[in-house]
């Protein structure tokens, strides 16, 4: 007798427990699914973490500049005394933002950077302005003497190292031909209704390009633009301009070296939170096609390996290191575009000849398949 209830009771109890377990599990699964769906709906990218400083998606500035275009000088005008303005026309030109410049390949093969000073909204042409510099490197002379209406020129870019960041107010400072990147910025600020001021300094009114357009832009509020021609008005009062700037405004300055140094020196006494953005006239020369004189032998020290390798003329650093010290060094294209052979430079001056690295990357690394030591100097690599 005592057995029967046990036998009967056990299965029912077990079944009941099993049913309860299944029900609880199913309910939990449903709740979890709902919560998950809700969670994913709220943020579709849950639950993977992200890399703090993302690597992908920047595109390669350097890559853009390797795409060169054949443009034609469509218009050439005397913009001011000693300044010509060129409108270069072509098809399918990439868009650009104020502050952008192009690399102009001159008939002699020399490459010079010129800021775009036209209107970004006008497709099909780029406008640049060049002042003749008598004792310069010869680039401006070539522009003035050899580029006429109808001349074909090669152009790379545009690139932008002088971007107009969003801000609640702008202060612009231009010295002479330094007005070229500033002008599109002023136009943009005016169009978007952001308060701005401009100080435009030059030797004489006759030598200052785009004066007419700038004075027209100033018309509604006359004190927004201060034009200072040194022969009539003397030196510009930079301190007064900066003192009158609204706090946390962005200051954009392009002009001769002394002007920019003066502005930088005045900044600590200016209103709180001003940010200074500058562009120099002559950025470091762009890498030119390997001049033969640069193909001289030099030494490379491998810091971690503790060995020194001699790179003969006509042989790449990559080949020399692979032959003499590290046969397994990775590489692939051997032409300076795939980036596999990038190595860190610890010391020495590099003559970069690749088409890939950004300026920041060039500061401390090189592609050893094409780049060399500058002027036969010595390089120390982190290898």
Partner 1 sequence: MSNTASLRPEPVASEHIPLKARNVAFDWADTPLHWIPGDPATTHTINVLHLLLPAGERWFVHVYKQVLPYVRDARLREDVIGFIGQEAMHSQAHDGVLPHLRAQGLDPTPYTAQVDWFFEKLLGDRTLPPGRARKWWLLERVALIAAIEHYTAFLGDWVLNAGALDARGADPTMLDLLRWHGAEEVEHRSVAFDLFVHLDGGYRRRVRTWATAFTALVFLWQRGIRFFMENDPTLIDGKASFREFLRAGRQGVLPTAGAMTRSIPQYLSRTYHPSRYGSTAQAAAYLAGSPAATAAESRTPGGA
Q: How far is the CB of 332 from partner 1 (least distance, A)?
A: 3
What the block records as the tokens of 48 is 């993977």
Q: Which stretch binds partner 1 (CB under 8 A): 1-9, 58-66, 206-214, 273-281?
A: 58-66
Give the count of residues interacting with partner 1 (CB under 8 A): 31
Q: What is the phi/psi pair of residue 308, to 5°? A: -120, 135
Q: Which of 373, 360, 226, 220 is nearest to 301 (CA)?
A: 373
Query: Is residue 166 a contact residue for partner 1 (CB under 8 A)?
Result: no
Give Cβ neighbours of residue 277 (< 8 Å, ≥ 6 apart).
Answer: 162, 165, 250, 251, 252, 253
Query: Is residue 296 a contact residue for partner 1 (CB under 8 A)?
Result: no
Asked if omega into 158 is within 30° of 0 (cis), the reply is yes
Cβ-based nearer residue to partner 1, 94 or 138: 94
Query: Is residue 21 a contact residue for partner 1 (CB under 8 A)?
Result: no
Taking CB under 8 A as the criterion, the residue among 335, 363, 364, 382 binding partner 1 is 335
Site string for partner 1, 299-328 (x = CB under 8 A): -----------------------------x
Task: Measure the CA dihedral 265/268/271/274, to 10°.
Answer: 80
Query: Is residue 293 a contact residue for partner 1 (CB under 8 A)?
Result: no
Cβ-based nearer residue to partner 1, 79 or 354: 354
Per CB under 8 A, which of residues 77..136 are in contact with partner 1?
A: 92, 94-95
Query: Is residue 54 a contact residue for partner 1 (CB under 8 A)?
Result: yes
Interface residues toward partner 1, by CB under 8 A: 44-45, 48-51, 54-60, 63, 66-67, 92, 94-95, 328, 330-333, 335, 337-340, 355-356
């Amino acid at each position: 007798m005592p057995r029967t209830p046990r036998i009967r009771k056990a299965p029912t109890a077990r079944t009941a427990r099993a049913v309860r377990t299944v029900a609880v599990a199913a309910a939990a699964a449903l709740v979890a699914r709902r919560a998950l769906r809700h969670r994913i709906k709220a943020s579709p990218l849950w639950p993977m973490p992200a890399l703090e400083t993302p690597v992908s998606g920047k595109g390669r500035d350097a890559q853009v500049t390797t795409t060169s275009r054949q443009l034609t000088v469509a218009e050439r005008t005397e913009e001011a005394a000693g300044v010509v303005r060129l409108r270069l026309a072509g098809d399918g030109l990439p868009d650009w933002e104020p502050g952008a410049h192009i690399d102009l390949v001159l008939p002699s093969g020399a490459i010079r950077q010129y800021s775009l000073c036209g209107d970004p909204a006008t497709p099909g042409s780029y406008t640049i302005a060049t002042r003749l510099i008598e004792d310069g490197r010869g680039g401006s002379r070539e522009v003035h003497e050899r580029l006429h209406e109808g001349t074909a020129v090669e152009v790379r870019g545009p690139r932008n190292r002088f971007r107009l960041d969003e801000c609640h107010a702008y202060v612009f400072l231009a010295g002479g031909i330094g007005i070229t990147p500033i002008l599109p910025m002023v136009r943009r600020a005016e169009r978007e209704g952001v308060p701005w001021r401009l100080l435009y300094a030059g030797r004489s009114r006759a030598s200052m390009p785009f004066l007419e357009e700038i004075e027209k832009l100033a018309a509604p509020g006359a004190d927004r633009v201060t034009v200072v021609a040194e022969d009539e008005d003397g030196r510009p009062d930079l301190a007064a301009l900066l003192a009158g700037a609204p706090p946390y405004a962005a200051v954009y300055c392009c002009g001769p070296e002394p002007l920019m140094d003066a502005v930088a020196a005045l900044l600590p006494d200016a209103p709180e939170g001003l940010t200074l953005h500058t562009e120099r006239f002559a950025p470091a020369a762009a890498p030119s096609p390997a001049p033969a004189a640069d193909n001289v032998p030099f030494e490379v020290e491998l810091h971690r390996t503790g060995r020194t390798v001699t790179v003969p003329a006509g042989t790449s650093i990559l080949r020399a290191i692979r032959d003499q010290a590290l046969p397994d060094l990775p590489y692939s294209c051997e032409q300076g575009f795939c980036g596999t052979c990038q190595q860190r430079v610890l010391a020495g001056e590099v003559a970069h000849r690749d088409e890939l690295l950004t300026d920041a990357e060039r500061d401390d690394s090189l592609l050893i398949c094409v780049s060399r030591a500058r002027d036969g100097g010595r390089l120390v690599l982190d290898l």
